[in-house]
Amino acid sequence: MSLLHFVVLAPFVMAIFLPFLYYKFRSIHTGWFLLPLPLILFIYVATYIPFGGGGMEAVEHTVQWVPSLGINFTVYLDGLSMLFALLITGIGTLVVLYSIFYIANKPDEPLNNFYVYLLMFMGAMLGVVLSDNLIVLYVFWELTSLSSSLLIAYWFHKEKSRYGAQKSMLITVSGGFAMLAGFALLYIIAGNTFSIQEIISQADAIVQDPLILPAMLLILLGAFTKSAQFPFHIWLPDAMEAPTPVSAYLHSATMVKAGIYLVARLTPVFGLTAEWFWILVIFGLTTLLWGSISAVRQTDLKGILAFSTVSQLGLIMALLGMGAAALHYDFIETETMYYTATMAAVFHLINHATFKGALFMAVGIIDHETGTRDVKRLGGLMAIMPVTFTVSLVGLAAMAGLPPFNGFLSKEMFFTATLNVASLDIFNLETLGVFIPIVAWIASVFTFVYSMMMFTRTFTGEFKPENYEKEVHEAPAGLLISPIILGSLVILFGLFPNLLGYTLIEPAMQAILPGITPVGEQFYVNIYHWHGINTELLMTVAVVLFGLAIALNLKKWAEAAFFQRERDPLNRAYDFGLDQLVVQSQNVTNFHMTGRLRDYMLYMSVFIVGLGMYTFFRYNSLDINLEGQGGIPGYAILVIGGLIASTLVLPFVHKRITNLVLLGVIGFLVALLFVIFRAPDLALTQLLVETVMVVLFLLVFRHMPEITKEKKAPLTTTVKALVSGAVGIFVILTGLSVHALRAESDITPISDFFIENSVPLAGGYNMVNVILVDFRGLDTLLEVLVLGIAALGIVTLIKHRLKGDEDV
């Protein structure tokens, strides 16, 4: 265990103790207890930042988990992991601080739930970005889905919360499941290793494998569902039912970037294929366009931000795809054109976290202080909430890509990257590449439009007090701290982007594009505002002009059918699918789940017999040898005859006391057989159990009625007789085959070990007892555990029943 392991585990450990703190110090807001943890983790991770430049050395520590399956808890910290870990802990600190003021400490507010889920998410997300093992990564991945779903449903009394939670769960978890299959394929391709670094090290060989495409598609399915790529993005807008701190944290800054992380992490593996490039670029650009267009139609501020997040995620995804093209060239050429895309992706990732986080928090403040997020009711808040207004202005300007904020820089780089890619000479880019900058440009126009829309409809215009249920005023200072910090970062990174250059961007790029720097040389990230008048700048100017034109004329369009449909049309497909899933599975269930024990037994018996018979004939294993029977002593024949006779009578007796007597007789005959077969312990046990059982049956009889007589239905009786006869014959055939096998092949029983070692190892002469208490002691322990559980079940059934009319 290294300290890095504790970085992942600390949130989970904290989650165990948090509820106690919550109940013990009820008057203190639980968030305060939590606040130091992400801060400490942030500072710890920040110590790995190479402040002196020169790239960073990856750190790796392994703890064995299931070494036989190649599953180890290996933490691996390189530039990419570090960037994400810093985002998770850094934004986490700010979000926790913000949530302390956002969610009031009311008596009926289950704060312990909220923070336990949040901690669970934090730990899981750190686990995702720090694990080197694919299986461990998968486990944490699903944990983030789970905690995200729990957080969306935090206010579970609202129906929409539950709907959103279910939706996000279904989509992300099924994607995760596909991803697991992809990991399994990757495991096979890479020669039985789950370690990402080992897989990367044999990337050249992996690309040749025919299984690479299915593996890639499955893994991308996981990444796309998680990162809300078209057409799986529909869960993200519904996830906005979560408390705003959660939206700011999970659904814009961290969790939705897990897919981005995975894609970036696996770029060295898949990046050499043309499919990787095209899938990422096409899906990324579609998401970018779709998200930005949908965002314009929203009237809920959080809805706008949700679709905006969707589109920005698409942008980063597309950039990563374009960046992978760089792997096709050796890096001797120092031209930046090949890796601008990747650099833009990493840079925009940071920028997006800052400005989108600030915007979410500002929207949360508006919601908190005015009681609404509907742009139709809002307006004129500029003068009333000056601080929120300033922060939002900064965030929106960055989102729209205006100078001098960081969004402008990454948007310029994005344009540069699209133009560069369009001029590459691989993957048919000569012909198709020209569409990439065009789509990017259109999407940017819409991005500008919705940014403008948010600004004008919230802050400008007339303030109408009658639209609000409460008195509107600026938020308390505590609520403003986090958005102000993030807003300042937007400006800081905008003015001094090179602060991030060798500290964060460069190490991350080394991880995404290994070999980008030849050994001993250094790779410099240099970002600056003014490139001279070039295509990118002209594109930005055109974006602003067109955007302004559309935004100013937005009112004329407001009646258009396009604007009336706020809900994403893809939701209809999802809802229909979900309904059909329920209906169809119900039909299937109703068809075979008849509620009759008889039918279930029938299915099972038929299946067992069928499977057994199939095995007999498939492997030709039926083998009957009736030879070699020694003489059977007369008393044995008597006992066995009695046993068979009383057994066969049993189904025909309908009086329960006769049944019980017969059962007793059978039990004692079995005990006698145990005596004959030289098993004294068994005989004793059987006798005693039989005695106790008779008392038990009699007691139950006292309370229960006589056995109901079967209604005569000859067909079902025949079926029953046939099926049970078949089971009997199957058992007999199996037994005979086993017996014949024993006779033919010389198998020595393993019990010689017990016979030899009973006295020297365990000091006992009764081998059965020695096996029970010593050699197989664990079995016995678990057996009495089962007994104990059965007894507890009995006591619960009888003594702790539900009150009133509740159905049991």
Partner 1 sequence: MEILMIFTSGIIIAVATYLFMTRSLLRVAFGVVMLSHGVHLLILTLSGLETGAPPLLTENAEAYTDPLPQAVILTAIVISFGVTAFLLVLAYRTYKEHGTEDLEELRGNADE
Partner 2 sequence: MKTNFLMLHTITRIVSFIVLSFSVYLFFAGHNAPGGGFIGGLMMAGALILLYVTFDAERINRVLPFDYTAIIAIGLLLAIVTGLNSYLFGDPFLTQYFEYYQIPFVGEVELTTALPFDLGILLVVVAVALLTIISIAEDVS
Q: Which residues bind partner 2 (CB under 8 A)?
A: 680-681, 684-685, 688-689, 691-692, 695-696, 699-700, 703, 762-766, 768-770, 772-774, 777-778, 780-781, 784-785, 787-788, 790-792, 794-795, 798-799
DSSP 195: B
- Among partner 2, partner 1, none, residue 799 binds (CB under 5-8 Å by kind): partner 2
CB nearer to partner 1: pick between 107 and 630:
630
290-319 residues in contact with partner 1 (CB under 8 A) are: none
432-491 residues in contact with partner 1 (CB under 8 A) are: none
CB nearer to partner 1: pick between 530 and 591:
591
DSSP 227: T
CB nearer to partner 1: pick between 552 and 582:
582
Least CB distance to partner 2 at residue 658 (A) = 22
What span, in angstroms and rounded, lies between the C-alpha atoms of 329 and 624? Answer: 70
Paired sense of beta strands 59-66 and 71-77, if any: antiparallel
What span, in angstroms and rounded, lies between the C-alpha atoms of 419 and 421? Answer: 5
Cβ-based neighbours of 544, under 8 Å, separated by 6 or more: 402, 448
Contact segment (CB under 8 A) with partner 1 among 174-182, 398-406, 428-436, 776-784 equals 776-784
Is the bond into 633 cis (omega within 30 degrees of 0)? Answer: no
CB nearer to partner 1: pick between 428 and 766:
766
CB nearer to partner 1: pick between 184 and 662:
662
Least CB distance to partner 1 at residue 465 (A) = 51
What span, in angstroms and rounded, lies between the C-alpha atoms of 773 and 760? Answer: 15
Long-range contacts of 78-81 (CB under 8 A, 24+ apart): 78/507, 78/510, 78/511, 79/55, 79/504, 79/506, 79/507, 79/508, 79/509, 79/510, 79/511, 80/129, 80/261, 80/264, 80/265, 80/507, 80/508, 80/511, 80/512, 81/129, 81/130, 81/511
* From 210, 532, 634, 705, residue interacting with partner 1 (rule: CB under 8 A): 705
CB nearer to partner 2: pick between 696 and 731:
696
Task: Report the SS3 class of residue 245.
Answer: helix
- Among partner 2, partner 1, none, residue 561 binds (CB under 5-8 Å by kind): none
How far is residue 592 CA from its own chain's centroid?
Answer: 32
Least CB distance to partner 2 at residue 660 (A) = 15
CB nearer to partner 1: pick between 556 and 703:
703
* From 710, 718, 744, 777, residue interacting with partner 1 (rule: CB under 8 A): 710
Q: Compose the 736-755 pattern: x for residues touching partner 1 by CB under 8 A, - for all others.
A: x-xx--x------xxx--xx
Integer angstrom CA distances of residue 536 from 175, 231, 340, 355, 387 = 36, 29, 13, 22, 33
Handedness of CA 332, 338, 343, 346 (dihedral sign): negative
Contact indicator for 351, 406 with CB cutoff of 8 Å: yes
Contact segment (CB under 8 A) with partner 1 among 124-132, 548-556, 560-568, 757-765 equals 757-765
* From 3, 63, 766, 777, residue interacting with partner 1 (rule: CB under 8 A): 766
DSSP 253: I
- Among partner 1, partner 2, none, residue 732 binds (CB under 5-8 Å by kind): partner 1
Cβ-based neighbours of 760, under 8 Å, separated by 6 or more: none
CB nearer to partner 2: pick between 573 and 698:
698
Asked if 157 touches partner 1 (CB under 8 A), the answer is: no
67-86 residues in contact with partner 1 (CB under 8 A) are: none
Least CB distance to partner 1 at residue 402 (A) = 57
- Among partner 1, partner 2, none, residue 205 binds (CB under 5-8 Å by kind): none
Cβ-based neighbours of 50, under 8 Å, separated by 6 or more: 56, 502, 503, 507
The residues facing 63 across adjacent strands are: 73
- Among partner 2, partner 1, none, residue 667 binds (CB under 5-8 Å by kind): partner 1
* From 192, 735, 744, 761, residue interacting with partner 1 (rule: CB under 8 A): 735
- Among partner 2, partner 1, none, residue 729 binds (CB under 5-8 Å by kind): partner 1
CB nearer to partner 2: pick between 604 and 791:
791
566-625 residues in contact with partner 1 (CB under 8 A) are: 586, 589-590, 593-598, 601-602, 605
Least CB distance to partner 2 at residue 756 (A) = 17
DSSP H helical segments within 401-521, as ranges?
406-422, 429-432, 435-459, 477-495, 498-500, 506-512
Helical (H) or strand (E) element with 72: strand 71-77
For the chain, give the longest Cα–Cα distance: 111
Integer angstrom CA distances of residue 805 from 761, 793, 797, 799, 808 = 59, 21, 16, 16, 9
* From 438, 477, 759, 761, residue interacting with partner 1 (rule: CB under 8 A): 759
Here the tokens at position 420 are 């560069």
CB nearer to partner 2: pick between 478 and 788:
788
Residues in the chain: 808
Tell me which residue has tokens 């009383």.
Answer: 646
Least CB distance to partner 2 at residue 793 (A) = 10
- Among partner 1, partner 2, none, residue 723 binds (CB under 5-8 Å by kind): partner 1
Least CB distance to partner 1 at residue 580 (A) = 17
Nearest to 669 by CA among 651, 657, 687, 685: 687
Least CB distance to partner 1 at residue 807 (A) = 8
- Among partner 2, partner 1, none, residue 736 binds (CB under 5-8 Å by kind): partner 1
Contact indicator for 511, 81 with CB cutoff of 8 Å: yes
CB nearer to partner 1: pick between 330 and 599:
599
DSSP 505: I
Least CB distance to partner 1 at residue 589 (A) = 5
Integer angstrom CA distances of residue 263 from 26, 69, 222, 517 = 43, 25, 10, 21
CB nearer to partner 1: pick between 40 and 772:
772
635-694 residues in contact with partner 1 (CB under 8 A) are: 636, 640, 643-644, 647-648, 650-651, 656, 659, 663, 666-667, 670, 673-674, 677-682, 685-686, 689, 692-693
What span, in angstroms and rounded, lies between the C-alpha atoms of 384 and 282? Answer: 44
CB nearer to partner 1: pick between 183 and 754:
754
CB nearer to partner 2: pick between 57 and 681:
681
Least CB distance to partner 2 at residue 13 (A) = 24
Quickly count: other Cβ atoms within 10 Å of residue 643's Cβ.
17
DSSP H helical segments within 240-331, as ranges?
244-248, 258-270, 274-297, 301-324
- Among partner 2, partner 1, none, residue 695 binds (CB under 5-8 Å by kind): partner 2
Helical (H) or strand (E) element with 65: strand 59-66
Cβ-based neighbours of 249, under 8 Å, separated by 6 or more: 91, 92, 95, 118, 121, 255, 357
Asked if 721 touches partner 1 (CB under 8 A), the answer is: yes
- Among partner 1, partner 2, none, residue 785 binds (CB under 5-8 Å by kind): partner 2
46-55 residues labelled b (16+ CB within 10 A) or e (exposed): eebbbeeeeb
CB nearer to partner 1: pick between 581 and 721:
721
Least CB distance to partner 2 at residue 666 (A) = 18
Least CB distance to partner 1 at residue 714 (A) = 15
Least CB distance to partner 2 at residue 764 (A) = 4
What span, in angstroms and rounded, lies between the C-alpha atoms of 143 and 121? Answer: 7
Least CB distance to partner 1 at residue 617 (A) = 19
Calculate Rg over the CA atoms of the chain. 35
